[in-house]
Amino acid sequence: MGEQLLQQIVNGLLIGFMYALIAIGLTLIWGVMNIVNFAHGDFLMVGMFTSFWLYTLYGVDPLFSIPVCTALLFVMGLLIYRFVVSKVMSGPILAQLVVTFGVSIFIANLAVYLWTPDFRLIAKPLLSGTWDIGGIQLSIPKTVASIGSVIISLFVFLFLKKAKTGKAILATEMDREAALLMGINTERINSLSFGMGAALVGIAGAFLSTYYYIYPQVGGSFGLIAFVVVALGGFGSIEGAFIAGILVGLVQTLGGFFFDPAYKYAIVFMIYLITVWIRPQGLLGW
Amino acid sequence: MQNITFKQTFYGIIALILAIVFPLIIANTAAQHVVILFFMFGMMGVAWNIMGGYAGMFSFGQVAFFGIGAYTSSFLLIAYQVNPWIGLIIGGLVAALVAAAIGYPCSDLRGHYFAIASIAFGEIVRIHFNNWKLIGAAEGLSLPMLDEGFKNFMFHSSKLPYYYIMLAFLIISLIVCYLISTSKMGYYFRAIKEGHDVAKVLGINVVWYRLIAIMVSAFLTAMAGTFYAQYVLYIDPESVMLLPISIQIVLISMLGGAGSVMGPVIGALILIPISEVTRMWLGYKGTGIDMIIYGFLITLISVYQPKGVWGLFSNIGKRAK
């Protein structure tokens, strides 16, 4: 029992780091422009497929396709911001909510059309197998992805705190009007944040493709979980998203372990409802 | 707020006559089916509009109420031979109760926060129904074949009775929505939508009125759920609990014009035939083309017609005066 429990905790942490990485991009977009990107999970799917095709067609290992995924998703994010999201920024809040649903359905089904709804797997990634540490199984690709998640989150955190552009993003997040008055081009910050948010989830997609099934609808559940993570952590808070991601991963696996695996997502959503009820601003929100 | 003008009465009567004679002229059952779906989604759009369009709570979890309605009446019929008409009322009450239970803790949530909470709620209900052995879990429920007739809410030889029942339901929901929108409560709803805190300061019992809006909306949506179960005679979580149905409902209201009585009906009139026809023509291959078009359409509407087409109509009317 003790060892099993420890194993579950490890599994929870490993999935939690992945949730954290996915959610960081989402929280950035949400925090800066107050847009809920329902297509976030589909961006993840595009990242996974990019990595899959680079592997299948050119034999590039997912680890090395990270830069391509990052760049591609960044451009995709910029374009979607420029041609879709920016147009609803001043519109009714309902349109802002619905528009990314449209983008989501469009992207997911474009993938169905192009690549069929089949499940795929990268057959022989560089990273595979497990480490056995005192009876605890540690999946190597998941561990590497977790380390990647920590490094990237740290990088984003430092970028926002130290770099000039990062500070401009934070300023816009706090007070758009004031930022504008201080000479910050908030429109540029918007598109940059959207691109960055997409690029970050693209990286997550590359990591995820080393050990997870790749199919057009894969973004659905990951996207919904990412919302819970963002809300739990506090909207726009990178540290919050990171901590909440790990929490959600733990809750999900331990909930499945102690109750019923079929209910693991239901437990996560329950946690979300309880959180917004008690503390609407999230754990680290203000 | 607005009294019905002579012109509106005139158009309303024409629309009603058209709706009544349509299935008598067009005997094609596929066409009748599309119109029945149009009425059904129109009704759910109207129900959404009461809480979303008027009271400003954008629910993306309406499908949970739809499913609860469908499941309650079906389960009562199968397990206890409860007449579906009674099941309809009980289903509505159960949905309203659940709505109150979830709406109360969420009574301070607004905008995006409420929207995501409603998605989470819908997913919890779906996952639960998917695993709840008593009501068939993922296999769903098949309704028993009863004698045809109004009493049993079941008709096998023709779609016509279903057609007129659904039309009646739609009209009932429109009347409810109209009565609310012109009553004092309607003003309170709008005040809450425009400014939650201001409404509170003005002495409006925000929590209470938000609950009423959610419960009325849930009741009507559950009615549509019972109708669906009686119409299709088979339900499972995949058919009555999926998130895309919730999104469809929101979209219908937005396209038609959130916050106007007739808006969602117009939205359903445009969207349901489009989505049904593209599905029939393109969707059977499973290539996703119909959904690509649908997704594109949603994006287009949000960008270019976010306030709905109803506003377009009424603006033209005003200018003409």
What pLDDT, on the 0 to 100 scale, is given for residue A171?
Answer: 83
pLDDT at residue A136 in the model: 83
Query: Which residue type sits at A85?
Result: V
Coil, helix or strand at residue B3: coil
Closest to A21 (Cα-Cα) out of A143, A203, A214, A232: A203
Query: Does pLDDT of B275 surpass 90?
Result: no
- What pLDDT is stored for residue B1 in this prediction? 46
Cβ neighbours of residue B319 closer than 8 Å, sequence gap 6 or more: none
Structure tokens given for A286:
């203000």
Phi-psi region of A282 (alpha: psi -120 to 50; beta: other; left: phi over 0): left
Contact B74, B83 (CB under 8 A): no
Does A89 reach chain B within 8 Å, measured CB to CB? no
DSSP code string of B219-280: HHHHHHHHHHHHHHSEE-HHHHS-HHHHHHHHHHHHHH-TTSSSHHHHHHHHHHHHHHHHHH
pLDDT of residue A91: 83
The region, left, alpha or beta by phi > 0 then psi within -120 to 50, assigned to residue B56 is: left
Q: What is the pLDDT of residue B4?
A: 67
Residue A58 CA from chain centroid, whole number: 26
Query: For chains A and B, what is the number of CB pairs under 8 angstroms?
Result: 144
Question: A134 phi and psi, to 5 degrees?
Answer: 55, 40
Cβ-defined contact of A262 to B300 (cutoff 8 Å): no
Out of A235-239, B75-79, B174-178, B209-213, which region has the weakest mean confidence (pLDDT)?
Answer: A235-239
What does the pLDDT read at residue A47? Answer: 95
A73 lies within 8 A of chain B by CB: no
**Where does residue A283 rank: exposed (0-12), middle (13-18), buried (19+ CB within 10 A)?**
middle
Query: 39-58 in B: which are within 8 Å (CB) of A?
Result: 52, 58
Query: Which residues have C-beta within 8 Å of that of residue A211, sequence separation ≥ 6?
Result: A125, A127, A139, A141, A142, A145
pLDDT tens per residue, range A204-260: 999 999 989 999 999 988 998 998 898 888 877 888 899 999 999 999 999 888 888
Give residues 123 to 182 of A whose Cβ lies within 8 Å of B.
none
SS3 content of chain B, % helix, strand, coil (to 5): 75, 0, 20
Instruction: Determine contact: A98 vs chain B, CB below 8 A.
Output: yes
Q: Report the complex ipTM.
A: 0.86
pLDDT single digits (tens) B58-78: 999 999 999 999 999 999 999
Burial of B189 from C-beta contacts in 10 A (0-12 / 13-18 / 19+): buried
Reply yes or no on whether the pLDDT at B319 is more than 50.
no
Query: Cβ of A231 and B113 within 8 Å?
Result: yes
For the stretch B147-180, what's the b/e string if a residue is b when 16 or more beta carbons lie within 10 angstroms of its beta carbon?
eeeeebbbbeeebeebbebbbebbeebbebbbeb
Residue A80: pLDDT over 50: yes
For the residues B152-171, what does the mean pLDDT come to?
88
For all residues of chain B together, what is the average pLDDT? Answer: 86
Nearest residue in A to B308, CA atom: A95
What pLDDT was estimated at residue B155?
84
pLDDT for residue A174 is more than 50: yes
**Predicted pLDDT of residue B314:** 61
Interface test with A, best of B260, B299, B300 (most A CBs within 10 A): B299
What integer best gives the mean pLDDT of chain A?
Answer: 88
Range with the poorest average pLDDT among A43-52, A205-214, B198-207: B198-207
A58 in B contact zone (CB under 8 Å): no
Closest alpha carbon within chain A to B106: A277
Is pLDDT of B229 > 90? yes
Q: What would the pLDDT profile of B296-313 be if each residue is shown by its tens digit?
A: 988 988 888 888 777 666
Comparing CA positions, the residue from B319, B302, B275 lying closest to residue A92 is B302
Q: Could you state, in order of their start, the residue ranges of all structural domains in chain A?
A: 2-114+140-278
C-beta of residue B62 within 8 angstroms of C-beta of residue B48: yes
**Predicted pLDDT at A286:** 57
The pLDDT value given to residue A247: 92
Backbone phi, psi, residue B148, to 5° = -65, 145
Instruction: State residue B65's pLDDT score.
Output: 96
The pTM is what? Answer: 0.88
Domains and CATH numbers, chain B: 6-320 (1.10.3470)
Shortest Cα–Cα distance, B274 to chain A (Å): 15
Mean pLDDT of B275-285: 76
Q: Measured between beta carbons, which residues in chain B are less than 8 angstroms from residue A215? A: none
Q: What is the CATH architecture of A2-114+140-278?
A: Orthogonal Bundle (1.10)
Return phi, psi of residue B307, to 5°.
-95, 0
Dihedral sign for Cα atoms in the order A247, A252, A258, A263: positive
Q: Flag whether residue B119 sits within 8 Å of chain A, measured between CB atoms.
A: yes
Phi, psi of A271 (to 5 degrees): -60, -40
Structure confidence at residue B41 (pLDDT): 95
Give the pLDDT confidence score for residue A72 in this predicted structure: 96
Dist CA A101 CA B302 (whole Å):
10
Return the pLDDT at B321. 36
Question: What mean pLDDT is predicted for residues B207-211?
Answer: 89
- B234-235 and B141-142 as β-strands: parallel, antiparallel, unpaired? antiparallel
Q: How many CB atoms lie within 10 A of CB B112?
A: 19
Of the pLDDT bands very low, low, confident and very high (cuts 50, 70, 90), residue B90 is very high
Over the stretch B4-61, which tens digit does the pLDDT of each residue have?
677 778 888 888 888 888 888 888 888 899 999 999 999 999 999 999 888 888 999 9
Q: Given this model, what pLDDT does residue B317 score?
A: 45
Distance, in Å, from the CA atom of A207 to the CA atom of A227, rounded to the nearest integer, reads 20
pLDDT at B25: 87
Look up residue A63 and give its two tokens: 């680890």
Contact A131, A140 (CB under 8 A): yes
pLDDT at B316 over 60: no
Residue of B nearest to A278 (CA): B105
Supply the pLDDT for residue A15.
93
Task: Check: CB of residue B80 under 8 Å from CB of residue B235.
Answer: no
Q: Give the residue carrying structure tokens 């469009």.
A: A106
Q: pLDDT exceeding 90 applies to what percent of chain A?
A: 45
- Full DSSP string of chain A: -HHHHHHHHHHHHHHHHHHHHHHHHHHHHHHHH----TTHHHHHHHHHHHHHHHHHHH---HHHHHHHHHHHHHHHHHHHIIIIIHHHTTS-HHHHHHHHHHHHHHHHHHHHHHH-S--B--SS-SS-SEEEETTEEEEHHHHHHHHHHHHHHHHHHHHHHHSHHHHHHHHHHH-HHHHHHTT--HHHHHHHHHHHHHHHHHHHHHHHTTTS-B-GGGHHHHHHHHHHHHHHH-TT-HHHHHHHHHHHHHHHHHHHHHS-GGGHHHHHHHHHHHHHHH-TT-SS--
Q: In this prediction, what percent of chain B has a pLDDT beyond 90?
A: 35
| Selection from B47, B56, B100 nearest residue B208 by Cα | B100
pLDDT of B249 strictly over 80: yes
Yes or no: say if B302 and A106 are a contact pair by the CB < 8 Å rule: no
| Sign of the alpha-carbon dihedral angle for B294, B297, B301, B302 | positive
